[in-house]
Amino acid sequence: MTERHILGLSGGKDSTALALFMRDKVPDMEYVFCDTGSELDETINYLNQVEAYLGKKIIRLNPNATFDHWLEVFNGYLPAPNMRWCTKLLKLRPFEEYVGGGNVVSYVGIRADEDRVGYISTKPNIKAVFPFKEHGIDYDGVMKILIDSGIGLPPYLNWGRSHSGCYFCFFQKPIEWVLLLENYPRLFDKAQSYEKIRHEPGKTFTWIQNMPLSELRKPENIERIKEKHKEIIARHKQSRPNKKLVEVFAGLEIDDSEPKSCLICQL
């Protein structure tokens, strides 16, 4: 049986660079994107540009039910780092259904300078490969691929969001929520409308623990979050003086105490 080659794009810089890198190496590559329906329009537009560059359709995989449907199933329990039902139902499941039962090589955009682990299916028919690791392509190599192609960085990096994925993603740092409010106020309102604050124990659901978005958006809190972020950026720039601000954002791992992002959504 022939082996299929599949590369999952997230709208993030590393998976995009990998798609560009592999374009002429594996002509029968299938490019896929698991669309949760909650991505920023600018991410979708960026993927459209990538699609034009690749000269090949990026197959959009849609889950068979929406985030709102699953939220109802979970009784309003918002997903969280320790309860990632969204990743499983809106990303992994559509991908595995698309892959099916045949043999597949899955191309993963983890860079040579990274030590993290991306989505590696436990399904025996899926073999994950890491071309950036094999070819020694690190952060600077990824930037070069993106810039040389003319595709450039994902647009959200320009206004300070560090990752692709759902606009309400709980992996966002407080400063990213502030930036979402400033850049996409209606999406912030929509994210806020998913929160439920009740007096009964175990019935309050917020995206950030102990900080409902109704609180976060207050001017005094916004100011505090911005101040703290400025301090973090200044510290980070001091330790990496040759990095431009956009690179600081793009490689954002500036506060290790914060939760790690979801790789299948944001690589």
Q: Which residue is nearest to ligand SF4 (CB)?
A: 165
The structure tokens listed for 187 are 């999406």
When the beta carbons of 34 and 216 are compared against ligand SF4, the nearer one is: 34
The structure tokens listed for 245 are 């601000």
Q: Cβ contacts of residue 185 below 8 Å, gap of 6+? A: none
- Smallest separation, CB 95 to ligand SF4 (Å): 12
Place of tokens 């400033």: 182
- Smallest separation, CB 52 to ligand SF4 (Å): 24
When the beta carbons of 36 and 192 are compared against ligand SF4, the nearer one is: 36
CB-count burial class (<10 Å; 0-12, 13-18, 19+) for 117:
exposed
When the beta carbons of 14 and 137 are compared against ligand SF4, the nearer one is: 14
Distance separating alpha carbons of residues 189 and 132, to the nearest angstrom: 39
Half-sphere CA count of 232, side-chain side, radius 13 A? 18
When the beta carbons of 7 and 86 are compared against ligand SF4, the nearer one is: 86
Locate all alpha helices (DSSP H) within the chain, ordered by sequence: 13-22, 41-54, 67-73, 85-86, 93-99, 131-134, 139-149, 174-183, 185-193, 213-216, 219-239, 245-250, 263-266
Distance separating alpha carbons of residues 217 and 211, to the nearest angstrom: 10
Total Cβ atoms within 10 A of residue 146: 21
- Smallest separation, CB 265 to ligand SF4 (Å): 3
- Smallest separation, CB 166 to ligand SF4 (Å): 3
The structure tokens listed for 263 are 């790789």
- Smallest separation, CB 151 to ligand SF4 (Å): 21
- Smallest separation, CB 142 to ligand SF4 (Å): 20
- Smallest separation, CB 141 to ligand SF4 (Å): 25
When the beta carbons of 52 and 83 are compared against ligand SF4, the nearer one is: 83
The structure tokens listed for 35 are 């669309």
Tell me which residues touch ligand SF4 (CB under 6 A): 36, 79, 84, 86-87, 90-91, 165-166, 169, 171, 262, 265
When the beta carbons of 84 and 236 are compared against ligand SF4, the nearer one is: 84
When the beta carbons of 86 and 175 are compared against ligand SF4, the nearer one is: 86
